[in-house]
């Protein structure tokens, strides 16, 4: 009696586990939200939600429109993208699929009920069989653990997709603001060049200027006009890329950007342990570790079930029209006569070794990318500071000195205009340097807490799924 009770308890434990698995109401986005709270500023992180119906979509549109009614900041642009980007919603659906797979793997397969009726003359035989996959009962805890790890990998993959979208949107915002700032500046340059070219034509007509000098001014005007056209095209392209990332259309695209880029911080960030931070916080590194753990667990399950493919237990109940009812039990076992399981075992082991090699490579690349991103960040800061504090002020002082010399009739108006062209180049370069600093800052944050630029947010989750399914 005691042995029967223990057996019953042993069989009922996996059944209890099978009944506990339920779908997450938010598909697991709560954990993704928690991961992002330490990686994104609060102003840039909305409440992540999977759009499942018209009510959710209407609420999202209202939030987006409220954000668009104000001048668009970098944080606001990121917030809109995380609310409205269609590709990110597809990533959320992938997380929902992983959650469903976790629940499926945590439940036992349905039993089979087989009914048969046979007639032989006046004799009628009715067979009733109830079959249950006993092997799935014993392997349920291991399969559930593998599916849970795969689900956790999918959560990290979704967080990596959120981080990647936030980084790209922030960089696109810097590009759009810098392009608009450059376009407005070159429009002013073009207008000044137009006035200079008109002056040159008039002076040449009355003989106060050589034809060569007049042609130089005409060429400068033509070049300024061409540069303005290029700047306007670049402004349109940068703005459209930002629009695509934020998922906007129609009247939503008429948002207002600030007039200029944000000022540089007074001091750059001092990061002495970028490699350690990347190894601790990067989402692709964390996911690779989870993949290794999941594949190791899957390899153990594959080896445990190498020789036993299917083990079924069943209850028989047969009745005859003129004889007593026949009852009993049956056990079905596939004999490993042709497939001894070595191929499945070798496949699982190859997947594990493949993931191990990829993880080593990922760790090496993550350290290198962190170091490179920090060097680019510091270089961009120093360069932008040099333009802001040294180059542009010096050009301005030279222009003021030349203006004094022009007022004293020591230089001609065209010498004054020639100096202005050098100032144009320095101001343009200063805008680009300031833009490059903010983009380098975004890349640094992603290199320390996000994922590699070549990282596919789902590529590491799929091998684990394949391994566990075998």
List, as one string, the DSSP characters of 141-208: HHHHHHHHHHHHHHHHHHHHHHHHHHHHHHHHHHHHHHHHHHHHHHHHHHHHHHHHHHHHHHHHHTTS
In a domain, 333, yes or no: no
Q: What angle do CA 436, 440, 441 make, to 5 degrees?
A: 120
* pLDDT above 60: residue 115: yes
What's phi and psi for 399, nearest 5 deg? -65, -40
Question: What are φ and ψ of residue 128, in 5° steps?
Answer: -125, 125
Choice between 167 and 300, residue whose per-residue pLDDT is larger: 167
Which of 375, 342, 358 shows the shortest CA–CA distance to 285? 358
Integer Cα distance of 384 and 378 in angstroms: 10
Q: Are 318 and 325 a contacting pair, CB within 8 Å?
A: yes
Q: Check pLDDT > 60 for residue 308.
A: no
What average pLDDT does range 408-432 have in this prediction?
72
The per-residue pLDDT for 172 is 96
- Distance from C-alpha of 196 to C-alpha of 222, rounded to nearest angstrom: 12
Residue 435 placed within a domain: yes
Label residue 40 exposed, middle or buried (CB < 10 Å: 0-12, 13-18, 19+).
Answer: buried
Of residues 415 and 148, more confidence is placed in 148
Please report the pLDDT score of residue 142 as a whole number. Answer: 72
409 pLDDT tier (thresholds 50, 70, 90) = low
* 284 sits in which H/E element: helix 283-304
Residues β-bridged to residue 127: 116, 318
pLDDT at 185: 84
Among 217-231, 380-394, 426-440, which is the least confidently predicted range? 217-231
pLDDT at 433 over 50: yes
Question: What's the DSSP call for residue 410?
Answer: S
Lowest model confidence (mean pLDDT) among 4-13, 43-52, 57-66, 400-409: 4-13
CA distances from 312 to 109, 307, 469 (A): 12, 14, 19
Q: What is the pLDDT of residue 451?
A: 79
**Cα separation values, 467 from 14, 108, 147, 297, Å:** 22, 19, 11, 10
Higher local confidence (pLDDT), 286 or 174: 174
For 361-388, what is the mean pLDDT?
91
CATH number of domain containing 285: 1.20.1600.10
* pLDDT at residue 313 greater than cutoff 60: no
Q: What is the pLDDT of residue 438?
A: 95
Q: Is the pLDDT of residue 53 over 50?
A: yes
Enclosing domain of residue 352: 2-107+139-306+341-469
C-alpha to C-alpha distance for 413 and 214, rounded to whole angstroms: 12
Confidence of residue 414 (pLDDT cuts 50, 70, 90): low
Alpha-carbon Rg for the chain in angstroms: 35
Query: Among 177, 149, 202, which residue's Cα sits nearest to residue 414?
Result: 202
Domain presence at residue 221: yes
Assigned domain for 166 exists = yes
**236: confidence class by pLDDT, cuts 50, 70, 90:** very high
Mean local confidence (pLDDT), 187-193: 75
Q: Is residue 44 part of a domain?
A: yes
Tell me if 422 is assigned to some domain: yes
Given a cut of 60, whether residue 456 has pLDDT beyond it is no
- For 313, phi and psi rounded to 5 degrees? -120, 140
Give the percent of the chain with pLDDT over 90.
26
Structure tokens, 29: 């986005």
**Which of these ranges, 186-195, 256-265, 269-278, 458-467, has the smallest mean pLDDT?**
458-467
For the chain, the distance separating the N- and C-terminal CA atoms, rounded to the nearest angstrom, is: 38
Q: Is 291 inside any structural domain?
A: yes
Question: Residue 322's pLDDT is what?
Answer: 58
DSSP secondary structure code for residue 126 in this structure = E
| Residue 327 forms part of a structural domain | no
Percentage of the chain surpassing pLDDT 70?
A: 71
Name which residue leads in pLDDT, 425 or 414.
425
Q: What is the pLDDT of residue 58?
A: 79
Q: Which of 138-152, 154-168, 200-214, 268-282 has the highest mean pLDDT?
A: 154-168
| Tokens describing residue 208 | 């106060």
Contact 161, 91 (CB under 8 A): yes
pLDDT in tens, 254-273: 999 999 999 999 888 888 78
Q: Which residue has the higher pLDDT, 413 or 235?
A: 235
The per-residue b/e assignment along 289-300, b for 16 or more CB within 10 angstroms, e otherwise, is: ebbbbbbbbbbe
Residue 186 is predicted with a pLDDT of: 83
Q: Please say whether the beta carbons of 200 and 120 come within 8 A.
A: no
Confidence grade of residue 169 (pLDDT, cut at 50, 70, 90): very high
Count structural domains, the chain: 1
Q: Which residue has the higher pLDDT, 469 or 336?
A: 336
Mean pLDDT over each residue of the chain, to the nearest integer: 77
Averaged pLDDT for residues 71-97: 92
Counting Cβ atoms within 10 Å, is residue 321 exposed (0-12), middle (13-18) or buried (19+)?
A: exposed
Question: Which region among 158-167, 403-412, 449-458 has the lowest average model confidence (pLDDT)?
Answer: 449-458
What pTM does this model have?
A: 0.76
């Amino acid at each position: 009696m005691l042995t029967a009770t223990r057996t019953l308890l042993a069989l009922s434990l996996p059944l209890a586990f099978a009944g506990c698995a339920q779908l997450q109401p938010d598909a697991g986005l709560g954990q993704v939200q928690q991961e992002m709270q330490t990686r994104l500023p609060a102003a840039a992180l909305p409440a992540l939600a999977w759009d499942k119906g018209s009510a959710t979509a209407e609420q999202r549109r209202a939030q987006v429109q409220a954000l668009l009614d104000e001048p668009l900041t970098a944080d606001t642009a990121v917030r809109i993208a995380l609310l409205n980007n269609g590709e990110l919603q597809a990533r959320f659906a992938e997380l929902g699929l992983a959650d469903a797979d976790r629940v499926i793997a945590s439940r036992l397969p349905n039993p089979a009920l087989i009914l048969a009726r046979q007639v032989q003359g006046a004799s009628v035989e009715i067979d009733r069989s109830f079959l249950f996959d006993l092997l799935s009962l014993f392997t349920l805890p291991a399969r559930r653990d593998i599916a849970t790890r795969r689900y956790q990998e999918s959560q990290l993959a979704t967080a990596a997709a959120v981080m990647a979208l936030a980084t790209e949107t922030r960089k696109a915002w810097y590009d759009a603001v810098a392009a608009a700032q450059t376009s407005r500046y070159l429009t002013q340059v073009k207008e000044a060049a137009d006035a200079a070219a008109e002056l040159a034509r008039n002076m040449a007509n009355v003989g106060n200027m050589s034809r060569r000098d007049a042609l130089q001014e005409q060429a400068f005007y033509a070049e300024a006009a061409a540069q303005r056209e290029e700047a306007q095209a670049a402004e349109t392209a940068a703005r459209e890329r930002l629009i695509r990332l934020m998922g906007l259309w129609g009247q939503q695209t008429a948002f207002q950007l600030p007039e200029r880029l944000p000022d540089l911080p007074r001091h750059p960030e001092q990061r002495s342990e970028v490699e350690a931070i990347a190894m601790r916080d990067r989402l692709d590194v964390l996911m690779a570790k989870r993949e290794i753990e999941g594949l190791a667990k899957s390899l153990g399950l594959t080896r445990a079930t190498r020789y036993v493919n299917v083990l079924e237990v069943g209850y028989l109940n047969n009745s005859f029209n003129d004889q007593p009812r026949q009852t009993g039990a049956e056990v079905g076992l596939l004999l490993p006569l042709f497939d001894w399981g070595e191929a499945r075992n070798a496949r699982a082991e190859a997947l594990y070794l493949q993931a191990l090699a990829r993880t080593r490579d990922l760790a090496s690349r993550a350290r290198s990318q962190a170091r490179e991103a920090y060097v680019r960040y510091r270089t961009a800061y120093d360069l932008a500071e040099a333009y802001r504090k040294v180059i542009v002020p010096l050009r301005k002082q030279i222009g003021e000195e030349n203006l004094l010399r022009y007022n004293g009739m020591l230089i001609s108006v065209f010498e004054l205009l020639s100096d202005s062209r050098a100032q144009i180049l320095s101001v343009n370069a200063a805008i680009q340097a300031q833009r490059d600093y903010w983009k380098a800052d975004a890349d640094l944050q992603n290199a320390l807490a996000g994922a590699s630029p070549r990282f596919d947010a789902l590529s590491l989750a799929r091998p684990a799924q394949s391994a566990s399914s075998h």
